[in-house]
């Protein structure tokens, strides 16, 4: 059985991160890239959003006794294998898990335009995930 209180709490956090990122992208790419406050906060909130999705997913996998994932990317394969998320979302969230590693470990090489592109084009992936997980609560 999935711990509903835990999921609801984390889904609320995820919503807050996504709401912030939604507002950050309205500044446009040029300002986003140039303004260290907008960019820095956005980069951190993007990292937190991905970590929140990973955390929620790990709790579901543990609570439902699904196979143990081999990596953060594999977390989403496990959810797909068990019918929790569709294939296309699995692929996008797996890519997001890889991007999280870049945010955390390869931040020196990080291209701000790419971060803006991820925020501009992939916030719906977080929302879709949250809707699916909300259905489990």
- Distance, CA of 68 to CA of 61 (rounded, Å): 7
- Distance, CA of 52 to CA of 29 (rounded, Å): 25
pLDDT at site 81: 98
Sign of torsion over alpha carbons 66, 71, 75, 81: negative
pLDDT at site 103: 85
* Residue 90 φ/ψ, nearest 5 degrees: -55, -45
Q: What is the mean pLDDT of each run of 10 residues along the chain (137 residues)?
A: 88 98 95 96 96 97 96 97 98 94 81 94 97 91
* Domains observed in the chain: 4-134 (1.20.120.580)
pLDDT at site 70: 96
Secondary structure letter of residue 71 according to DSSP: S
Say whether pTM exceeds 0.75.
Answer: yes
Among 44, 46, 49, CA closest to 13: 49
Residues 76-84: contacts with CB under 8 Å, at least 24 apart: 84/60, 84/132, 84/136
pLDDT at site 136: 85
């Amino acid at each position: 059985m999935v711990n509903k209180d835990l999921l609801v709490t984390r889904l609320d956090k995820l919503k807050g991160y996504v709401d912030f990122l939604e507002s950050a992208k309205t500044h446009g790419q040029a300002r986003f890239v140039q303004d260290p406050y907008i960019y820095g906060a956005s980069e951190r909130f993007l990292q937190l959003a991905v970590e929140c999705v990973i955390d929620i997913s790990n709790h579901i996998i543990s609570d439902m006794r699904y196979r143990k994932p081999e990596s953060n990317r594999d977390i989403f394969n496990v959810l797909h294998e068990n019918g929790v998320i569709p294939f296309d979302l699995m692929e996008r969230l797996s890519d997001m898990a890889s991007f999280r590693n870049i945010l955390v470990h390869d931040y020196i090489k990080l291209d701000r335009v790419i971060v803006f592109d991820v925020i501009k084009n992939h916030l719906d992936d977080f929302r879709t995930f949250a809707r699916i997980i909300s259905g489990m609560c």
